[in-house]
Structure 1
Amino acid sequence: MSVDQKITAMDVWHLQLPVNARRDHGIGSVEHVVDIVVVGLTAEGGQTGYGEGSSWSVFTGSAEASFAALDRYIRPLVVGRSIGDRAAIMADAAYAVAHCTEAKAALETALLDLQGRISGLPVWALLGGKCRDTIPLSCSIADPDWEADLKLMERLREDGVRIIKLKTGFKGHAYDMMRLEELRKNYPEFKIRVDYNQGLHHDNAIRCVQEVATFDPDFIEQPVKAHLRSLMARIRDSIDIPLLADESVFGPEDMQTAIAMGLCDGVSIKIMKTGGLTRAQTVARMAQSVGLSAYGGDMFEAGLAHLAGTHMIASTPEITLGCEFYQASYFLVEDILQTPFEVKDGQVIVPQDAGLGVLPDPDKLTKYTLTHSNGSKA
């Protein structure tokens, strides 16, 4: 049977992908390139499944750490195991190396992709079945050059995207208010969300958030540092706009704390934070069980990670606020997939083919690789 096949090889690549703009967030900036890690698992029948780990050093960790976690610490737990041992492999990986959630997300993605390709099933079928065929796309507006962002807004309008998230807290409160005013005036058809990425100082956070709330965004996300959970709860109580947690909630363990403290009205769910697709589903179900909302966030991802997130959201009815899988279409100079990550009329299209649905292009893996390891000592 397909699930009895052994995993015979594991390849790990560290890629550096050029981007077309700078993006500023409350905790840091990204420009020129982004770093990702790709893992490929090959079964004895010859099929290969792929996964991506997309990290950011100020958020989840570094690509170098993810590469080492997979190549040195997780590899011995994987090669020689049966494909059907996915749950056991992931349980072992959880304790093989601390943190490195992106590496674990890449591993589970590759295991699911491999099992799906061998069995002929899409990853969403392996995660419990599909609840939607499309997912509304949100694109982040984060260029410190406001004119460049306005050009992006025109492109999004033309493409049928109707949700944006304004990144705030990196250039002063007056700048944030100016942009919100212009967006509301000139782009009334767009839903607007606001994300501080921890960018506000605790001394003036409540006042700034209250003033931003007057623009009636869909939600305001993570205004203060992740550990300031009591302040998050106070901010939540001070506004009528939903407050969402991102950096304060990585996985199910943090979700327990968030619920107990009443620190948010919803949560950003990212497979790179949770350490995998199934843990991401758990966070969404925990949120829904107490009436909290959820949406599909992401890191600085390529199309491979977007595909994993898409399958996860497609099989998770508790995630109702769309996704942010825009980088492959609007941020990367070139994606790594053989065919483009599919977005149509502002909607991400859920793949129907086996596994993730699209393979990485081997030529692009070669083109953008900084480091590659197949476990050989040679």
Structure 2
Amino acid sequence: MTDQNQIITEFALWHLSLPVNARRDHGIGSVEHAIEIVVLRLGAEGGQYGYGEASPWVVFTGSAEASFAALDRYIRPLVIGRPVGAHPSIMAEAQAAVAHCTEAKAALDTALYDLRARIAGIPVWALLGGRTRDRIPLSCSIADPDFDKDLRLMERLRDDGVRIIKLKAGFRDHAFDILRLERLRKDFPEFDIRVDYNQGLHHDTAMACLRDVAGFRPGFIEQPVKAHLRDLMARLRDAIDVPLLADEAVFGPEDMMPATALGLADGVSVKIMKSGGLARAQTVARMAQSVGMSAYGGDMFESGLAHLAGTHMIAATPEITLGCEFYQASYFLREDILSTPFPVENGQVVVPDAPGLGVDVDPDTLARFSINRSGLAA
């Protein structure tokens, strides 16, 4: 069966804990030992499957437990028994069925796109408007409190052809941030260095800190202060001559109007987990471009499955021009959940051509790292 009228017959969930190889500190919190995600599998009557991932972070968007419950209790009844072609109406109903839980909605949207594209025999990017690029420059974040470990990672990145890094700042003192910037500029001059505070600066000292950091000419500075300090963001933007990006201050399309009205940033980090889906993320990028703002392909703490969803979205969204940060499957997770490695070559993410998301999820890996599951046959 190849038509989009196939009925969705399966809604299976896994809550996973995936071990990581390092500690990562950010302005709003740390991650160590493991990340937690939720994987959704939708099955259609013709035998095809589609996968999606919810990748929350408790200090940013929410918890894996909340994503699991939103999908299992509130969204499942909207999906089972519906035709796969009802994708738009299913997503509209999911938006209204449970507040927030944008990661759960992103998982649903991804799984529906994957399922529909597999049934049609086309890549997901074809359903999102068509591919506008074959490769996406990869950025890797530098966030280990042990800077020597990050310097070793930098050597690996250089050998692998990666030429963009994002320094996570604001989780210790300003002197530590400056020390790292000086060393990176000296030892790795070929890299485009960007700086991300994840809201880590105090409002009293933010201006002085940014003026110091701007002297290193980073490609951009991302979300220096708390998301609600929109007026301060606008003042910071006016005071420095380095582009300022909004991350936590802009989740979905609803946030773009006030953000642009205040002039709080020169660009926005676009994440399907914040936006609540692939099409909504595209809308954020297009709204940004319409007012002269740039767009960057951000992520949460993700496996290769969510990276794939973001890759297809960016491939079909020419407004996202600053690359992507889909590095975690290759450089942070001890083991990914995909059956073959997430496609990165010479510092760039390769856009898949195969039907659906283009790479399968390994069922044995799901079983090994699962800490809760629902909707599976006994």
TM-score normalised to structure 1 length? 0.99
Number of the residue aligned with 1:345? 346
Distance 1:140 1:9 in 2: 37
- The residue that corresponds to 1:130 in the other structure is 131
For 1:20, the aligned partner's letter is N
2:4 pairs with 1:3: yes
Hey, what's the Cα distance between the residues in 1 that align with 2:208 and 2:139?
Answer: 27
Task: Report the 3-state secondary structure (helix = DSSP H, G, I; strand = E; otherwise coil) of the residue aligned with 2:314.
Answer: helix
Q: How much has 1:261 moved relative to structure 2?
A: 0.6
CA deviation vs aligned residue, 1:276-320 (integer Å, no higher than 9, x gap): 000000000000001100010000000000000000000000000
Residues of 1 paired with 2:214 and 2:62: CA distance?
31
Quote the Cα distance in structure 1 between the aligned partners of 2:87 and 2:111: 10
**One-letter amino acid matched to 1:158:** D
Equivalent in the alignment of 1:254: 255
Distance 1:358 1:123 in 2: 11
Q: Secondary structure at the match of 1:211?
A: helix
Task: Tell me the CA shift for residue 264 of structure 1.
Answer: 0.2
Q: What secondary structure sits across from 1:351 in the alignment?
A: coil
What letter matches 1:38 in structure 2?
V
Partner of 2:240: 239
Corresponding residue number in structure 2 for 1:14: 15
- After superposition, residues 271-286 of structure 1 pair within 5 angstroms as 271-286=272-287
Asked whether the equivalents of residues 41 and 48 of structure 1 are also in contact (C-alpha less than 8 Å), the reply is: yes
Aligned partner of residue 2 in structure 1, secondary structure: coil
- TM-aligned CA deviation for residue 375 of structure 1: 7.4
In the alignment, what sits opposite 2:140?
139
Contact persistence 1:39–1:50 (CA under 8 A): yes
Structure 1 counterpart of 2:334, one-letter code: V
Deviation at 1:359, TM superposition (A): 1.1
Which amino acid is 1:132 matched to?
R
Moved over 2 A (4+): none
Distance across 2 between alignment mates of 1:190 and 1:352: 29
Structure 1 distance, partners of 2:7, 2:283, is 28
Contact 1:194–1:220 (CA<8 Å) still a contact in 2? yes
Q: Give a deviation string over 1:330-372, Cα, whole Å, max 9, x none.
A: 0000000000001000000000000000111000000000001
TM-score normalised by the chain length of structure 2: 0.99
8 Å CA contact 1:55, 1:299 repeated in 2: yes
Task: Check the 8 A contact 1:71/1:375 in 2, yes or no.
Answer: no
Where structure 2 has 5 or more consecutive residues not aligned to the other structure, the ranges are: none
Partner Cα distance (1:43, 1:272) in 2: 24
| Superposed displacement of residue 215, structure 1 | 0.2
Q: Is residue 106 of structure 1 aligned with residue 107 of structure 2?
A: yes
Q: Secondary structure of the equivalent of 2:201?
A: coil
| Residues 1:266 and 2:233 aligned together | no
Measured on the aligned residues, the alpha-carbon RMSD in Å equals: 0.8
**Which residue number in structure 2 is paired with residue 204 of structure 1?**
205
Are 1:287 and 2:312 counterparts? no
